[in-house]
Chains A and B, each alone.
Chain A
Amino acid sequence: ETGVTQTPRHLVMGMTNKKSLKCEQHLGHNAMYWYKQSAKKPLELMFVYSLEERVENNSVPSRFSPECPNSSHLFLHLHTLQPEDSALYLCASSQEVELIASNIDYNSPLHFGNGTRLTVT
């Protein structure tokens, strides 16, 4: 397999369920991302794992919990979600080149998976 693979492609869950989204990248990249895409809204960055640093968007509720066990795998653990969490969840990876003094090379594109279409009922 090549590229960025996300599973499952579709997920329907109740508000009391616990589920996990999985992402795997086969590109040898060292950074991974979770984005949320809701209808009629720009893509929203949720979490970043880059060069052994994790960053999260402070507006993301605690019912979303990321896990990055290694540079090739990324999970998004979901629990007690709300209907407004229904969206397309996109995983991405990139190769980060650290320059000097915490600056990185900004010309690396992100490579995305096909996304998981999540419906919360």
Chain B
Amino acid sequence: AQKITQTQPGMFVQEKEAVTLDCTYDTSDPSYGLFWYKQPSSGEMIFLIYQGSYDQQNATEGRYSLNFQKARKSANLVISASQLGDSAMYFCAMRLPSGDTGRRALTFGSGTRLQVQP
């Protein structure tokens, strides 16, 4: 079964500094997609960035980048130039292409609470 592990329950970062949120995953499927979501206190899950297992380059979306190390099965999120509005829960998730529909849905990690300090 696929599994996502986020080992940092909480992180602090100073405004304008960069921060890395860790994510490791476990699957025997060669094809998979990795996603990061942000959940502010309002509750909505906001899609941030995607990395495919066959992508040669690390994904980037504005201030978000994904440090993808396939051999180590890690997909860490890097947020550059942190802003106060970045304070939220961050979830790493994985999708698989094959098998039953339930496996194809997103499997989430337990999340990391990021607090940006002024």
Alpha-carbon gap, A102 to B31, bound state (A)? 14
B81 close to chain A: CB less than 8 A: no
Count how many chain A residues have C-beta atoms less than 8 Å from C-beta atoms of the other chain.
Answer: 34
A50 close to chain B: CB less than 8 A: yes
Chain A binding surface, main DSSP class = loop
Q: How far is the CB of B35 from chain A (nearest CB, A)?
A: 6
**Known: A53-B101, A57-B102, A114-B44. Is A106-B32 also a contact (CB below 8 A)?**
yes
Tell which of A41, A56, A92 touches B110, judged by Cβ atoms closer than 8 Å. A41
Q: Are A43 and B108 in contact (CB under 8 A)?
A: yes
Count how many chain B residues have C-beta atoms less than 8 Å from C-beta atoms of the other chain.
Answer: 31
**Known: A106-B96, A109-B50. Is A115-B44 also a contact (CB below 8 A)?**
yes
- A sample of 22 cross-chain residue pairs with beta-carbon separation below 8 angstroms, ordered by A number, consists of A42-B108, A42-B110, A42-B111, A43-B106, A45-B105, A45-B106, A48-B101, A48-B104, A50-B104, A55-B101, A55-B105, A104-B104, A106-B31, A107-B33, A107-B52, A109-B47, A109-B50, A110-B35, A110-B105, A112-B37, A112-B46, A113-B44
* Residues of chain A whose beta carbon lies under 8 Å from any beta carbon of chain B: 33, 40-43, 45, 48, 50-51, 53-57, 88, 90, 92, 96, 99, 102-115, 117
